[in-house]
Amino acid sequence: MNSPQIYRGNPDKQHFALTFDDGPNKLPLENWLEALEQCGAPGTFFFTGEWIDKNPEKAREIIARGHELAPHSYHHRRMGEIPKNVFFEEMKLTELAYQEATGSPCPTFFRFPYLHFREENLNWLTELGYVDIEGDDSRDWAGITSQQIIDNSKPFLKNGTILVFHANDIAKDTPGAIKPLIRSGIEKGLKPVKISEILEGLSAPPSHRKWKISIDVPVVDNEYTIQEWKPIHSSEDLHQLALETMDWGIAQTPSGMDSEQKWLKHLSESLVINGVVEDRQLFSGWYMADHYWGYARLAIDGEELILLDFATREAQADALVYLLRWAAKTATDLGCKRISATRDMRRLEKMCQQLGWKSNIELDKSLVSQ
């Protein structure tokens, strides 16, 4: 498959996909998720980067509940009306929002807002390794009733169908149409699947794009505060860190039964991310007044100190300054020339700017998965 556009899946595959654009602001996202899940169906949500930035917990929830999140531009611009540099900026901002919210690289399938594009936009998508996902329009964007949505969509149901809906404040009756349409599809022998499975059925599994911030190690001025950090090696240290960080709102913290034990196990085992293995000797915590205020899990790759995972007790960006100063001192002690991270990149970049440090958010080509 060489086309940058997909209108339908493999006609020999008995499946179909339900897709939803935009992201609701006033209406609960739960309306759409519950309608899908009551029928055991996954959905693919093409949401804007702006929505993801405002709702990172909901973005993670979509994925955690077995659905799929995909890019839909950052500001919901008519992409056919903007120049190439703005087009690329929209894509980058969306990818950064996705990665920072979910902790995963952004998939390279995309839907144009308003299904509006020019031919050259498709060439630009191809440059970035993307495919454009089109489909059959339910016309729910007009605020029509559930029955009208059903009547519009039912004739499209066949092998490989991609149904286009919206999850926004105008398409308030769309959740009411989801279950009848899923049942109709199942009655025809069709299985509801995510867009990634549609692409796999076309022998074109999606790739992903991942970003990182690269920071030149500065000379750390001793007149500035570098908070006290200590190694985390003993079981007592790990238990205290696990217990205290459960309430920090860290994205990867487990919930539900045995969540504390699962989190302790996560902190106790070496991280391996894209083949990079954590150096457990460098696992350190920011310790003050008998409590942890931050932690960092590191690896070294040549002359680069990699912040594989980190968190701070306080949400303010200022806490990242203390992390950066400690990381710079650690990098200097280890003879590293660069510090890199793939999380919280935009806030780290802003703090680097204020500190006068040289940094750059760049595509991490070594971590682009196919």
pLDDT in tens, 342-368: 999 999 999 999 999 999 999 997 654
Say which CATH topology domain 211-367 has.
Answer: Aminopeptidase (3.40.630)
pLDDT in tens, 291-314: 999 999 999 999 999 999 999 999
Mean pLDDT, rounded, for 96-107? 95
pLDDT at 302: 94
Q: CATH 3.40.630.30 residue ranges in the chain?
A: 211-367
Here the tokens at position 75 are: 């500001």
| Rounded CA separation 359/350 (Å) | 9
Is the pLDDT confidence value at 200 over 90? yes
Q: What is the pLDDT of residue 367?
A: 53
In percent, the amount of the chain with pLDDT more than 70 equals: 96
Residue 99: pLDDT above 70?
Answer: yes
Q: Which two tokens stand for residue 225?
A: 């505060």
Start-end of CATH 3.20.20.370 domains in the chain: 5-209
CATH code for residues 5-209: 3.20.20.370
Cβ-based neighbours of 122, under 8 Å, separated by 6 or more: 4, 5, 132
pTM above 0.75, yes or no: yes
- Phi, psi dihedrals of residue 319, rounded to the nearest 5°: -60, -30
d(CA 213, CA 96): 11
Strands 211-216 and 338-341: antiparallel
What is the rounded average pLDDT for all residues in the chain? 94
Please give the C-alpha separations between residue 314 and each of 99, 249, 323, 343, in angstroms, as whole numbers.
21, 10, 12, 16
d(CA 17, CA 178): 12
CA dihedral 119, 123, 125, 127 (to 10 degrees): -170
**Model confidence at 252: pLDDT above 60:** yes
**DSSP strands (E only) in 159-235:** 162-167, 191-193, 208-209, 211-216, 229-231
Is the predicted pLDDT of residue 93 greater than 70, yes or no? yes
The answer to whether residue 370 scores a pLDDT higher than 50 is no
